[in-house]
């Protein structure tokens, strides 16, 4: 905080000393509202094929999705920022405070003298928010996209404009959204490392029915594991036959590291569905109340967007910048004149392999995804991250461009489209931090390459990591 800001508060407090109530109001207004933050997971592999039988799950772009469902803690921040004087749009549903499975209490009268205050109920802060309509979710996402705080809830990704228009669609130029049906489906079931369909039956990276989760006295999953899910009234706590559980505590995740997509609360998507004379919204996933197979990839529901229940919640997605990092070391002086000015040295496919990075360069966000393209299908590849940039040292059929201290980021099999992917999650695994500058390059086998060495390399990419 600058000295000017400190002085502003000091003089404001002196001026308020005789007007206690006004002083308290001004002091509260001057404090910055807490920012709602998410653990974002990058969903890479743009242009992936759809699930062959049900035809869902193909997306044209890289995007990020929240690892967990929106929690009561997060939604209470939204309510305190936007509904302290009441809301004509009903973003607070009374059942949140009266139903035993609701998670947010409301006090006050909604007037300037006694504004509403929203607090999470005991042991419910880290549970998924429920009793939210689709329109509540859309207003929360508008608020996120508009910068939080006192931001508008009626414009942004969804033009609600003070009403509940059933046919509203997302503005693709915005930044935050309720997931589309395909976005949700891909994040839950898609896995490029398995075949032949590349889609699991359940969001637990398995084709078998998830294990029913039990609960501790405070609502954590008591039997976490790679197949556990809160379903079928199995998680009993707080004297209830089935209840919501702490997000992520089940321990099961999809390929993209998303939690609770097989249980806890059904999740709204922003995909509309004709339902008689009305328009419904698709819901996906499992919930604490329903049986073992509702989270299967074949199942989806059409829900009234104005309805709220104890078993419905949502998560959010955001757009991802197209590319991260600065490329270098293109194929301009290759070992056997196999040059390619737009990528690495040419390989057996006729061109060079290219390296790109998407997500962000945030070390704490840890969502960087590095992808190799135009490499020989079926061959092995390793991604290197070095601390030193080299100037085109001859290396197999290509050039070595990184040196210094080297991290080897894992062996991949190049898929049928000539691509391989590393990340997210590398920053934490490798101990990278803000201020680190790393140079990435992929090596790969190429038994029939033009120079006869049996291997080659992509061009390289420099990334400066930020907090």
pLDDT of residue 276: 78
**What token pair was written down for 345?**
């040295």
pLDDT of residue 28: 38
Q: Over 90: is that where the pLDDT of 46 sits?
A: no
Q: Over 70: is that where the pLDDT of 170 sits?
A: yes
What are 353's strand-pairing partners?
A: none
**What token pair was written down for 13?**
């407090």
Look at residue 208 and give its three-state secondary structure: coil
Q: Is the dihedral of CA 302, 306, 307, 311 positive or negative?
A: positive
User: Rounded mean pLDDT of 458-464?
Assistant: 94
**b/e per residue 350-362 (b: at least 16 CB within 10 A):** ebbbbbbbbbbbb
**What token pair was written down for 177?**
């959204």
Q: Count CA within 13 A, CB hemisphere, residue 29.
A: 10
**What token pair was written down for 269?**
């998507």
Residues of the chain with CATH 3.90.1580: 34-320
Given a contact cutoff of 8 angstroms between Cβ atoms, the answer to whether 38 and 316 are in contact is yes
What are 105's strand-pairing partners?
A: 119
First vs last C-alpha separation in the chain: 19
pLDDT of residue 65: 93
Has domain 326-464 been given CATH number 3.20.20.150? Answer: no
**What token pair was written down for 53?**
């039988």
The answer to which of 15-19, 94-98, 142-146, 384-388 has the lowest mean pLDDT is 15-19
Distances (CA, A) of 268 to 89, 308, 311, 421: 18, 11, 11, 29
For residue range 292-330, what is the model confidence (pLDDT) as tens digits? 899 999 999 999 999 999 999 999 999 876 678 888 898
Q: Over 50: is that where the pLDDT of 426 sits?
A: yes
Q: Which fold has domain 34-320?
A: 3.90.1580
What are 274's strand-pairing partners?
A: 279
Q: Over 50: is that where the pLDDT of 10 sits?
A: no
Q: Over 60: is that where the pLDDT of 434 sits?
A: yes
């Amino acid at each position: 905080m600058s000295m000017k800001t400190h002085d502003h508060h000091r003089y404001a407090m002196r001026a308020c000393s005789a007007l206690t109530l006004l002083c308290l109001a001004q002091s509260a207004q001057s404090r910055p509202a807490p920012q709602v933050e998410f653990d974002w997971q990058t969903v890479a592999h743009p242009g992936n094929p759809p699930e062959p039988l049900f035809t869902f799950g193909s997306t044209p772009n890289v995007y990020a999705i929240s690892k967990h469902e929106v929690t009561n803690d997060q939604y209470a921040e939204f309510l305190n920022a936007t509904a302290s004087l009441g809301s004509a749009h009903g973003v607070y549903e009374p059942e949140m405070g009266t139903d035993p499975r609701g998670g947010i209490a409301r006090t006050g009268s909604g007037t300037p003298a006694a504004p509403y205050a929203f607090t999470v109920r005991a042991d419910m802060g880290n549970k998924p928010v429920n009793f939210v309509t689709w329109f509540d979710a859309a207003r929360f996402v508008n608020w996120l996209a508009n910068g939080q705080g006192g931001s508008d809830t009626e414009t942004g990704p969804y033009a609600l404009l003070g009403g509940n228009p059933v046919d509203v669609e997302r503005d693709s130029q915005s930044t935050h959204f309720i997931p589309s049906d395909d976005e949700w489906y891909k994040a839950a079931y898609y896995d490029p490392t398995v075949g032949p369909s590349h889609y699991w039956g359940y969001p637990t990276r398995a084709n078998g029915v998830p294990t029913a989760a039990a609960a501790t006295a405070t609502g954590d999953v008591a039997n976490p594991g790679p197949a556990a899910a809160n379903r079928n009234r199995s998680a009993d706590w707080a004297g209830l036959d089935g209840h919501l559980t702490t997000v992520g505590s089940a321990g099961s995740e999809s390929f993209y590291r998303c939690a609770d997509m097989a249980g806890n609360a059904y999740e709204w998507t922003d995909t509309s569905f004709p339902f008689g004379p009305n328009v419904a919204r698709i819901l996906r996933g499992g919930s604490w109340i329903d049986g073992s197979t509702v989270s299967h990839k074949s199942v989806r529901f059409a829900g009234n967007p104005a309805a709220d229940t104890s078993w419905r919640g949502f998560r959010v997605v955001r757009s991802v910048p197209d590319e991260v990092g600065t490329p270098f070391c293109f194929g301009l002086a290759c070992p056997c004149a196999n040059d390619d000015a737009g990528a690495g040295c040419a390989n057996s496919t006729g061109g060079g392999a290219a390296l790109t990075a998407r997500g962000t360069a945030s070390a704490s966000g840890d969502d960087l995804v590095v992808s190799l393209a135009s490499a020989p299908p079926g061959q092995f590849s390793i991604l290197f991250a070095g601390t030193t940039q080299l100037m085109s040292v001859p290396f197999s059929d290509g050039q070595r461009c990184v040196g210094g201290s080297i991290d080897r980021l894992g062996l991949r099999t190049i898929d049928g489209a000539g691509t391989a992917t590393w990340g997210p999650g590398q920053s934490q695994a490798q101990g990278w931090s803000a201020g680190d500058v790393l140079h990435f390059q992929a090596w790969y086998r190429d038994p029939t390459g033009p120079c006869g060495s049996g291997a080659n390399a992509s061009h390289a990419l420099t990334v400066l990591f930020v907090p």
